[in-house]
Structure 1
Amino acid sequence: MSLGWLDIPPEELEEVSGEREVWASLLRLLVRTLGAEGLFLFSSLDTDHDFYLSPEEFRPIAEKLTGVTPPVDFEEDVTYDPNGESLTLEAKMQPLLLDSMTKSKDGFLGVSRSSLSGLRSWQSPAVPSSSFSARQFGVFLPPKNKVEVGDTWWVIPSELSIFTGYLPNNRYHPPTPKGKEVLIHSLLSMFHPRPFIKSRFAPQGTVACIRASNDFYYDIVFRIHAEFQLNNVPDFPFWFTPGQFTGNIVLSKDTSHVRHFHLYVPNDRSLNVDMEWLYGASESSNMEVDIGYLPQLELQSTSPSTPSIITDEEGNIIDRRDGNSEPIQFVFEDIHWTSEISHQEAARRLEVTFYPFKKVSYLPFSEAFERAEAEKKLVHSILLWGALDDQSCSGRTLRETVLESSPVLALLNQSFISSWSLVKELENIEKARLHLEKYSFPVEMMVALPNGTIVHHINANFFLDQTAMKPEEDGAPFSFSGGFEDPSTSTYISFLKEGLKKAKEYLA
């Protein structure tokens, strides 16, 4: 599909002079022909900006219209090897702190005990300890084209995007896992019997990164976006969505041995779980939303994987592990890596794979203002009720659209130091007082001087209302004259440029 069918008369383009004017004239014609929404859809799909949709670029829409998706090539499930090594994992949990929920304490907003029944009853792991075949963890091995330290890949790919929307809320039981999904489902089932290894909202799935390597071993870090359904019939669905699961595995390249495995929900933020529940069984029922703090949800290997039997060179069994004997004792050599990156750098690469908007560095609040002072730049600051870079998020629409737009990324990298913050965590920071005064629920975007003075700000709800306006409507705050941009990108660039302009007034 191309734009050639528009049959734009060449003389209409020849009436204007200069490349910029030609583009402006062309884009005005496109808006009149396709409409703002049609042009936005086409430009979003046209990733290489060649005014032509290749079959690969058009595929998301074809799948959406037809309801047919191509089969995914999963690897076959790993068969348990009784003579291979096994790994024992222990699950640990500290339940959600109910007092950390900001809106839904007893009696507030008419929250009933039945709504939170699944949450209140989930006090310990469903399976405290379980053994797995070492070879099952081969699902974490990189594909053949990803063998260098720092490489990332999708273990379980995300199937959602801004075009596909999100998965239904009115579900109780997860779909049957297949291929590589089987192990992830089994691991998360140790916490709760109803894990959904593909979350309702993008980005879904599991991403991994090679952190370290030598001739025999990989250290692979991973990040999982999944959630749990805590309620069962007759109670209405209650979704429990940790911001992320993360961890690492050290395993041999032939998958015969796992030295270490760790999976957990990070607890270094004051809020790390999103919760949503229905007040009815249908998809159109009212939904309540809250966030809270989960102190611990963790899987850890008790020791490296070990074989059940030991044989001599002739294949004779010389030792065996069973329930009536002492465990076989092993001495494991230290692993020395020939190539590695830090855990922090590996985590950053996972983030960028999940969230392209993280190509801009978002610094902690105080550090951002220190950097802005040193580099004589303004601060692009975002205040949120929930986190911006995980699934406990109140800025989902923002990060999936304008913040990953190439023109916005370029302007932020050139002229701003960026930061995002949980509102709850700024209450004791003096310089944040001005930010909190300007904040309105759920997300506020601000441009600030290095001393904390706010020179410009806009609420996310107002921003979304403005970008929904048609370009021909009076008061629509965007124009296509500056380039081939969708309304939200153009509006956000205007917001940032207005902040730069107002900053000059403060500095004059």
Structure 2
Amino acid sequence: MGRSRPDERGPPSPGPAAPPAPPAPPPRCARALALLGALLAAAAAAAAARAFARYTEAQAAARQESALKALGTEGLFLFSSLDTDRDLYLSPEEFGPLAEKLTGSTPTASYEEEELPPDPSEETLTIEARFQPLLPESMTKSKDGFLGVSRLALSGLRNWTTAASPRAQFAARHFRPFLPPRGQAELGEPWWVIPSELNVFTGYLSNNRFYPPPPKGKEVIIHRLLSMFHPRPFVKTRFAPQGAVACVTAVSDFYYTVMFRIHAEFQLSEPPDFPFWFSPGQFTGHIVLSKDATHVRDFRLFVPNHRSLNVDMEWLYGASENSNMEVDIGYIPQMELEATGPSVPSVIMDEDGNMIDSRLPSGEPLQFVFEEIRWQQELSWEEAARRLEVAMYPFKKVTYLPFTEAFDQAKAKNKLVHSILLWGALDDQSC
């Protein structure tokens, strides 16, 4: 047999390249070290975060202790009531209300001048305040000497016997916030004039405050109206539901009747006294105004007085707002604002554009004749009130019945009875 010999035609042509071999997996100990390094880094970051948090808390505690030594308990309490952002520094805006109180001065440009400038060509109306103070005997807990209650604690309440401004003039256009939003003028459909910023999950605002924040936008007219009762109204309450809700109850070619419900409260004390909060169950009422808000035919706002208790009161009797708080409920017979008549032009012009004297030669004022409003759609007061109530308290979608009626309904429908016993009303701010 002969030996084979290499092919004399040359080396064979190369085939397709083989794929690279996968890298060898790292040793198990290397993977363990990498994981341990990551865990140690995470632990170090967490420890650093905790250390920074403790450092921040220690700094805050040191500043708090320093402030307590410098101001004393009562002084720190007053300082905290002004320090709204809780940074332990008073900005000029935070210090402003106290500076005005101490100096007796007023700001050069108030929110009224900025947002409600006068216009001599528009219609104006006069609103009167009617006020009867809270009946002391209606307070079930807070008699003198009982539960540590003193005359000093209730001094702001006892001294509030008359309305702060018995009469005030407003321009018709200032009531524009009560008009329904564009496209939402459906009869009985509620909308929020001032939305609530609180709910059952967000908690409540601090009790340790004396001066309300400057109102903005639609809050301005409500703040001006409530200021006729007392100089320190808070347009938004400390507890939910806050704000104001409204709905259209009647419609004509040129006018709306709008019913509204407002949750607001008052601070009756000023430093050095402790805060005293006065929270009516609700303000309700109606306004009849033209669709362009140039004319107001009627206006009324009041605290309902058909229940035996209609005001909640809460006050501090020490520097801690968590442990030194007392609560009671009472009855106020009358807290009401009402227009003396429809809005009328401030300046009267004849057909040639000349100004006319607003008084007759006899001295009597000119009498205006207003056209009769022909309503095309109307909703009852009771139904409108129910819808506003549901907007504020969604649980009212369930029908609540008087005690005796509930058992008749339960028997007829073969259902159980859920009975609720309260020291006030569940569906307003007096409870």
Q: How high is the TM-score relative to the length of structure 2?
A: 0.71
How far apart in 1 are the matches of 2:410 and 2:339? 43
How far apart in 1 are the matches of 2:304 and 2:200? 27
State whether residues 368 and 379 of structure 1, in contact with CA within 8 Å, keep that contact through their aligned partners in structure 2.
yes
- Spell out, residue by residue over 1:34-71, the C-alpha distance to the aligned partner (whole angstroms, 9 max, x if none): xxxxxxxxxxxxxxxxxxxxxxxxxxxxxxxxxxxxxx
Structure 2 residue runs of 5 or longer lacking an equivalent are: 1-113
- Residue of structure 1 equivalent to 2:371: 333
How far apart in 2 are the matches of 1:366 and 1:91? 39
Instruction: Describe the SS at the equivalent of 1:154.
Output: strand
User: How far off is 1:380 after superposition?
Assistant: 2.0
- Residue of structure 2 equivalent to 1:300: 338
User: How far off is 1:327 after superposition?
Assistant: 2.3
- Spell out, residue by residue over 1:353-400, the C-alpha distance to the aligned partner (whole angstroms, 9 max, x if none): 11110111112333334444544443322110121000111xxxxxxx
- Equivalent runs, 1:16-165 vs 2, <5 Å: 77-165=115-203
How far apart in 2 are the matches of 1:280 and 1:328? 58
Query: Is residue 246 of structure 2 the alignment partner of residue 208 of structure 1?
Result: yes
User: How far off is 1:151 after superposition?
Assistant: 1.6
How far apart in 2 are the matches of 1:267 and 1:290? 17
Instruction: Describe the SS at the equivalent of 1:187.
Output: helix
How far apart in 2 are the matches of 1:321 and 1:384? 57
Amino acid at match of 2:335: L
User: How far off is 1:262 after superposition?
Assistant: 0.3
- Residue of structure 2 equivalent to 1:279: 317
Higher relative contact order, structure no. (Cα contacts within 8 Å, ≥ 6 residues apart):
2
Q: 1:237 aligns with which of 275, 293, 310?
A: 275
- Residue of structure 1 equivalent to 2:21: none
How far apart in 2 are the matches of 1:391 and 1:86? 32
Amino acid at match of 1:344: E
- Spell out, residue by residue over 1:432-486, the C-alpha distance to the aligned partner (whole angstroms, 9 max, x if none): xxxxxxxxxxxxxxxxxxxxxxxxxxxxxxxxxxxxxxxxxxxxxxxxxxxxxxx
How far apart in 2 are the matches of 1:207 and 1:152? 7
Q: 2:255 aligns with which of 207, 212, 217?
A: 217
How far apart in 2 are the matches of 1:364 and 1:83? 53
> Do the aligned partners of residues 328 and 285 (structure 1) sit closer, same or farther apart at CA in structure 2, a change above 3 Å counting?
farther
Instruction: Describe the SS at the equivalent of 2:429.
Output: coil
- Residue of structure 2 equivalent to 1:442: none
> Do the aligned partners of residues 349 and 320 (structure 1) sit closer, same or farther apart at CA in structure 2, a change above 3 Å counting?
same
User: How far off is 1:331 after superposition?
Assistant: 1.6
- Residue of structure 2 equivalent to 1:60: none
Amino acid at match of 2:197: E
Amino acid at match of 2:273: D
Instruction: Describe the SS at the equivalent of 1:378.
Output: coil
Amino acid at match of 1:132: F
User: How far off is 1:143 after superposition?
Assistant: 0.6
> Which of these two proteins has the greater Rg computed from alpha carbons?
2
> Do the aligned partners of residues 321 and 81 (structure 1) sit closer, same or farther apart at CA in structure 2, a change above 3 Å counting?
farther
> Do the aligned partners of residues 321 and 170 (structure 1) sit closer, same or farther apart at CA in structure 2, a change above 3 Å counting?
farther
Number of corresponding residues: 317
- Residue of structure 2 equivalent to 1:269: 307
> Do the aligned partners of residues 309 and 282 (structure 1) sit closer, same or farther apart at CA in structure 2, a change above 3 Å counting?
same
Query: Is residue 367 of structure 2 the alignment partner of residue 367 of structure 1?
Result: no
Amino acid at match of 1:361: T
User: How far off is 1:315 after superposition?
Assistant: 1.4
- Spell out, residue by residue over 1:422-441, the C-alpha distance to the aligned partner (whole angstroms, 9 max, x if none): xxxxxxxxxxxxxxxxxxxx
Instruction: Describe the SS at the equivalent of 2:383.
Output: helix
Query: Is residue 210 of structure 2 the alignment partner of residue 172 of structure 1?
Result: yes
User: How far off is 1:148 after superposition?
Assistant: 1.2
Amino acid at match of 1:86: T
State whether residues 120 and 347 of structure 2, in contact with CA within 8 Å, keep that contact through their aligned partners in structure 1.
no
User: How far off is 1:185 after superposition?
Assistant: 0.4
Query: Is residue 392 of structure 2 the alignment partner of residue 354 of structure 1?
Result: yes
> Do the aligned partners of residues 370 and 321 (structure 1) sit closer, same or farther apart at CA in structure 2, a change above 3 Å counting?
farther
User: Over the residues paired in the alignment, what is the CA RMSD in angstroms?
Assistant: 1.8
- Residue of structure 2 equivalent to 1:420: none
State whether residues 195 and 244 of structure 2, in contact with CA within 8 Å, keep that contact through their aligned partners in structure 1.
yes
User: How far off is 1:317 after superposition?
Assistant: 2.0
State whether residues 265 and 296 of structure 1, in contact with CA within 8 Å, keep that contact through their aligned partners in structure 2.
yes
- Residue of structure 2 equivalent to 1:47: none
Instruction: Describe the SS at the equivalent of 2:372.
Output: coil
Q: 2:348 aligns with which of 310, 330, 342?
A: 310
Q: Percent identity?
A: 70
User: How far off is 1:179 after superposition?
Assistant: 1.0
State whether residues 309 and 321 of structure 1, in contact with CA within 8 Å, keep that contact through their aligned partners in structure 2.
no
> Do the aligned partners of residues 367 and 331 (structure 1) sit closer, same or farther apart at CA in structure 2, a change above 3 Å counting?
farther
Instruction: Describe the SS at the equivalent of 1:367.
Output: helix
Instruction: Describe the SS at the equivalent of 2:421.
Output: strand
State whether residues 77 and 180 of structure 1, in contact with CA within 8 Å, keep that contact through their aligned partners in structure 2.
no
- Equivalent runs, 1:380-419 vs 2, <5 Å: 380-393=418-431
Instruction: Describe the SS at the equivalent of 2:127.
Output: strand
State whether residues 251 and 257 of structure 1, in contact with CA within 8 Å, keep that contact through their aligned partners in structure 2.
yes
How far apart in 1 are the matches of 2:393 and 2:169? 34
User: How far off is 1:252 after superposition?
Assistant: 0.5
Q: 1:249 aligns with which of 273, 287, 298?
A: 287
How far apart in 2 are the matches of 1:327 and 1:367? 56
Structure 1 residue runs of 5 or longer lacking an equivalent are: 1-75, 394-508
